[in-house]
Chain A
Amino acid sequence: MRRALMEDKPVIPDFLERRSFLTIIIAFGTVAIGAMLSIPLLRFAFHPLLAKTTETGWSTVGSIDEFISITGPVKRIISVEQRDGWRKNVSDKAVYVIKKADSRLVVLSPICPHLGCPIAWSEEKKQFLCPCHVGIFAPDGAKVAGPPPREMDELNIKIEGKKLLVQYQYFRSLVPTKEVMA
């Protein structure tokens, strides 16, 4: 078998040796067609790398004026829009708007950093209470008592004109530092 292979003297395909001018034209034409087609094909396939296909948009919490004179946490329902390619998920989420001591507006996620239960504001106790394992937070979101590993999570905000916008995100539970969940 091996001997047969050795004896069989292959030659380069004739078209590589003769008629070199026409060969170049043919090669050029083939490459031209390939290029004309492969550029849009690659751009099409790589679209998710060239543009954002999934993202969570900014949700309107309300007008700044509504929060200027708040004295304690205010609960707001926001509409969160998540783009997922050709579709979007719209869901309602609760957030708390608070005013820090330096009169800075902050929006807090109501998800407990312990195990993800929804935290409620207790007007009579003037505290945030997590009903699951009795986590307690101060009106500014600082941890007071209970199993939660960190304070309540602050959400990214921005102000556009007179509107307060928030980017709703989830954070990893059970860790001492705030980590955004992918």
Chain B
Amino acid sequence: MNTGPLHRFLMWVDQRTGLNALLKKALGEPIPGGARLAYIFGSGLIFIFILQAITGVFLTLYYVPSADHAYSTVSYITKEVTSGSFLRSLHAYGSSAMVIILILHVTQTIIYGAYKRQRELLWLSGCFLSVLILGMAFTGYLLPWDQKAYFATAVGTNIATEVPLVGDLIKRFMRGGNDLGTLTLSRFFSAHVLFIPAAIGAMVSIHVYLFRKAGAAGPFTHTPTLHHQQNSEPFYPKQLLMDLGLALLLIAMLSMLAHFHPYELGPQANPADTHYLGRPEWYYRPVFQWLKYWKPPYTAIGILVIPLVVAVIFAALPFLDRHTERHPSKRPIVLSTYAFVLALLVLLGRQSYLDDSDTPAVLNQMTKQELEVEEIMSRPFEPEVSGVIVATTPPAVTIKGRQTYELQACDACHGHGGSGGPGASKLTGIGSKYSTEQLMTLLKHPDEKMIAGGMIPSQLRERELKALVEYLRSLK
């Protein structure tokens, strides 16, 4: 027998912790019928949850959950912090991976009839976990505070108003007020990093405990009696190896995606932008499409009643489907219904994308938005100017310039403060693109594109022109 220092150290630890017995219990879990690839999704979910927890905790090193700063801090993470874009992308794409693996886990459970007989609570805890995971995706989506985050959450929280009697109260509770604002962001942040993760942690413990209590269901040729141990193989090492394989595959794919296709950050949330077309993440697209088909006075039926009925039937599955038969070919109703719902969701999602690409106006706007996102991503990080410590008053010359800007009706086309308008480009940030001399020349001799847009050559005196240019260059 080995009596080296490592062995003695392990003995010392084991005497005080009982680690060996614990590991044996954890790793010796009997798997009826032996290890299978079909069983890897549960631990896959735990792996992604841990991955999300770790990356999420690290992201809070730089993130600030306030409507004033959230966007700047996420931009800082994306553009300046070492490995920031990678970790943020890992976290953002991780949510998609979570949803995919969740669907696979549920599908496996349904095909294998693994919810049957004495596994009702296990199934219910799983349903609860699914809702919590979707809640994580929903709350996390708002945190970057860019346009798509803002509008997706605006739509998402608006759905609550369809609930009879208390709909408005629910919406106000979720938003922390009537409108989406900094309180919404605080609430979503707390929910995303404290409340929901705590609930998930507790629920995962219950789910795993109930799973171990009931025992793995095994192949669907078996009847689902408890502690079915004949022809069983321990979890370690083969099943663990398969589970680890999935974990490796997931992290490799997520890393490649994060590295080669970093998750984007769009323009900062601007509630006043009435042109913006908000679109949710792909896994909410089917629901998004579904909502389109329900017009008043039937909205409540489509948005509330039908999804609720489906959810209740889904959660009640082990109570409704009580037969001991687990073979999929002998359970046509459950399987075909599940396949139908899944297919319907896929078709709805697909239709949502088709609708967008078939409507020229929508396609146009979406392309414009994509180009804007690209442009923003290529721009270097611009720190937020802090007005807390020192408030700088603009120099007299820019005040003069602003008067000229407004008197000459520049704002009629270029918008208030150079914010841009329907007919003309915005002027904010123009100071970083053109020098004073270049701008003076352009104002006196506009180029073809500008003339085509209706720009008139300036007739201003040199001094006024100079003040105007100073003002334009100060626009942020």
Report A's interface with B, CB cutoff 8 A: 5, 8, 10-16, 19, 22-23, 25-26, 29-30, 32-33, 36-37, 39-41, 43-47, 50-51, 79, 83-92
Contact = CB atoms under 8 A, between A and B. Distances in A.
Nearest to A11: B20
Nearest to B63: A86
A87 B237 contact: no
Contacts, number: 119
B383 A40 contact: no
A41 B62 CA distance: 13
Contacts of A45: 58, 61
Interface residues of B, number: 50
Contacts of B389: 89, 91
Interface stretch (B6-14, B151-159, B410-418): B6-14
A14 B22 CA distance: 12
Given A44-B87, A92-B392, A12 B10 contact: yes
Given A15-B23, A15-B27, A19-B237, A86 B69 contact: yes
B15 interface: yes
Nearest to B16: A5
Given A8-B15, A32-B248, A23 B392 contact: no
Given A44-B84, A47-B83, A87-B385, 16 more contacts: A12-B11, A13-B19, A15-B27, A22-B238, A23-B237, A25-B241, A29-B241, A29-B244, A33-B247, A37-B51, A41-B54, A41-B55, A85-B62, A89-B389, A90-B392, A91-B389
Contact of B82 (A36, A46, A88): A46
A50 B82 contact: yes
Contacts of B80: 51, 86
Interface string B402-425: 000000000000000000000000
B255 A88 contact: no
B10 to A, nearest CB: 5
B274 interface: no
B50 to A, nearest CB: 10
10 contacts: A10-B14, A10-B15, A13-B20, A26-B241, A40-B87, A44-B84, A47-B82, A84-B386, A89-B386, A90-B390
B384 A44 contact: no
Interface string B1-41: 01000010011001100011001100100000000000000
Contacts of B73: 86
A177 B23 CA distance: 65
Contacts of B81: 44, 47
B384 A88 contact: yes
B49 interface: no
Contacts of A84: 386
A114 B237 CA distance: 74
Interface in B379-395: 381, 383-386, 389-390, 392
Given A15-B236, A29-B248, A83 B383 contact: yes
A164 B2 CA distance: 75
B106 interface: no
A51 B82 CA distance: 8
Interface string B319-354: 000000000000000000000000000000000000
Contacts of B392: 79, 90-92
Contact of B248 (A33, A83, A85): A33
Interface string B214-252: 000000000000000000000011101100110110011
